[in-house]
A and B are shown apart, each in its own frame.
Chain A
Amino acid sequence: MQIYLPIAEVVVNPVTLIGLGGVVGLMSGLFGVGGGFLITPLLFFIGIPPPIAVATGANQVVASSVSGVLAHVKRRTVDFRMGGVLLAGGLVGSWLGVLVFNMLQRLGQVDLAVQLCYVVFLGLIGLMMLQESLRALSRSRQPSAPRRRLHEHMWVHRWPLKMKFRSSGLYISVIPPLLVGLAVGVLAAIMGVGGGFIMVPAMIYLLGMPTKVVIGTSLFQITFVTAFTTLMHAVSYNTVDIMLAVLLILGGVIGAQIGTTLGARLRAEQLRILLALLVLAVCGKLALDLFLTPEDAYSITTGVR
């Protein structure tokens, strides 16, 4: 069975799309990442034009994050105050990011910049997480080892404008979370993703938030940032394909629920090792594309400058 997508103007197999959405939804529920960094390249791969893949991917991320965040709200693992601060930074950041994106586009090397961004960030974060979670795992196997503190106070936490984040058990300055939100927003706009895979480690390692609330809070922020992005794309470029989105969402919401249930059963260290491996796998694939000789040195994109 095949289905014709009205905006993308291509024919696709709906089963493939539902499956794709399901896998990405699973990731979303498990790790609290929106899955944008997976869905967008996968859509390119099955022949969806890049602008439509980016915009519709954002729409799909909205659905899976809403589904995920509701499950987390029920379990009281969302720090709304922290989420709000991150969101404020994120919206400003994505606005800035769009400006940077347009500038890169005028210079003519936006594809390369995006790919390099992916490889560098995914590589760094993947390695960092893998190393840290492996260390945590080996520590937990040795009962004699000293227990890790609930969270560590770093010098950035002592900046002014302190605020109490009760759900996270933190009393820190609002400036670091604002900056994290801002940076993630910029990168999210340039890379066309929600930014969860950058924000989750940033929340754990920079803000010192407990892993338990990190995922729900990150999903909360992603929901709003991607909703904003979807609307921007639909209004200014008409690149959201609702038929494509519905198919992806159908798989995605189910995957997200399964992921959240699974995530509650797995241990935090194991979860983080899995996410680290996933991030490294995507990074490796993108790096190979940069370094290996392409099948055809030529490629076609519709439209001219």
Chain B
Amino acid sequence: MPGRRRLRHVPAVALALLLVAGLPLVAQQQQQVDRPGDGAQVYPDPGQPPVVVPENQAEAPEKVVAGLSHDAVSITTSFDGSDILIYGAVKRETPIPEGDPLQVIVTVEGPAQPLTIWHKQRRVGIWVNTERVEIGAAPSFYAVASTGPLDRILLPEWDSRHRISIPLAMRSFAGPVEVADTVPFTQALIRLREGSGTYRLDEGSVTLTEQTLFRANVTLPANLIEGDYRTRIFLLRDGRVVDVYRAPIEVRKVGLERWLYRLAFDWPLIYGLMSLAVAVVAGWGASTAFRLLRRG
């Protein structure tokens, strides 16, 4: 019976339709899950409407092949920052496409932390923290390097999809937002962190030769936090991301730093007693030394 057979296909077709319709939604959700520090209850930024961008239809004609000068950073006692050279090439089977030249953006992102932004206001003559905004996850370090000004080489919808520019690097608020306008708070966060050098935007610092070979130098500051850093390299055509390459950088304390850190967290009582012993011995030692000095 042909009629029956056709009917049997209906659920399958409906399911396929549903899948296709749901695809961008799933992609959006994955993007959300991808964010670090999502353990806490996280609320979307009310100021940023979600932007839906269609997925890449076909296999990208241009792909990134890249390497890092080192994929691990060891924090020793004398650690004072580290330079990471990120280099690579664009792999393509077809000739270089016509039109606007290829652009490259490189980001390096440190482990996310929850933080609170406070606003002081004058109350009865004194300056008091009156308002706060709590951010569930903001990177402890974030550097963006590119071949040109971001607003010229990157379309806003692609920016919001991959969260490339600094304002988009931290998005989730922790707990209900108690202030009317969060914009001055997030602006202040970026201003303060750019001032201290932990957030950086180096437009034009990526060199790209012949639309094929590129290199970027990212300086990790001395005030690094231990954890897994991630590097992303974006290839862009006409403001659209055509390919992404991801690579981790492991930042770890080593030697004495590691030993002290583990002791402090795994054996806090022993660590505390050790700190006290150091203090008492040093105090006693100095007292004795000076007495001998005076006598001698």
Contact = CB atoms under 8 A, between A and B. Distances in A.
Contact of A242 (B78, B226, B265, B278): B278
> Which of A240, A294, A300 is most buried by chain B, counting CB atoms within 10 A of its CB?
A300
Interface string A3-38: 110110111000000000000000000000000000
B280 A2 contact: no
Interface stretch (A85-93, A123-131, A161-169, A248-256): A248-256
Given A63-B279, A65-B283, A256-B286, A234 B271 contact: yes
Interface in A106-132: 109, 111-112
Interface string A128-159: 00000000000000000000000000000000
Q: Could you say which interface size class chain A belongs to? A: 35 or more
Q: Could you say which interface size class chain B belongs to? A: 35 or more
Interface in A239-289: 240, 242-243, 245-246, 249-250, 253-254, 256-257, 261, 289
Interface stretch (A66-74, A76-84, A97-105, A208-216): A66-74
Contacts of A290: 126-127
B296 interface: no
B61 to A, nearest CB: 43
Contacts, number: 197
Interface of B: 40, 75-80, 113-122, 125-129, 134-136, 174-175, 184-185, 188-189, 191-193, 222-226, 253, 256-258, 260-261, 264-265, 268-269, 271-276, 278-280, 282-288, 290-291, 294
Interface of A: 1-4, 6-7, 9-11, 59-60, 62-68, 70-71, 74, 109, 111-112, 227, 230-231, 233-236, 238, 240, 242-243, 245-246, 249-250, 253-254, 256-257, 261, 289-294, 296-305
| Nearest 3 CB-CB pairings of A with B | A234-B272, A66-B283, A253-B286
27 contacts: A3-B78, A4-B78, A4-B79, A6-B260, A7-B260, A62-B279, A63-B282, A66-B280, A70-B283, A70-B284, A70-B288, A71-B290, A112-B126, A227-B279, A230-B272, A234-B264, A236-B268, A253-B286, A261-B290, A290-B127, A298-B118, A298-B185, A302-B114, A303-B113, A303-B116, A304-B114, A305-B134
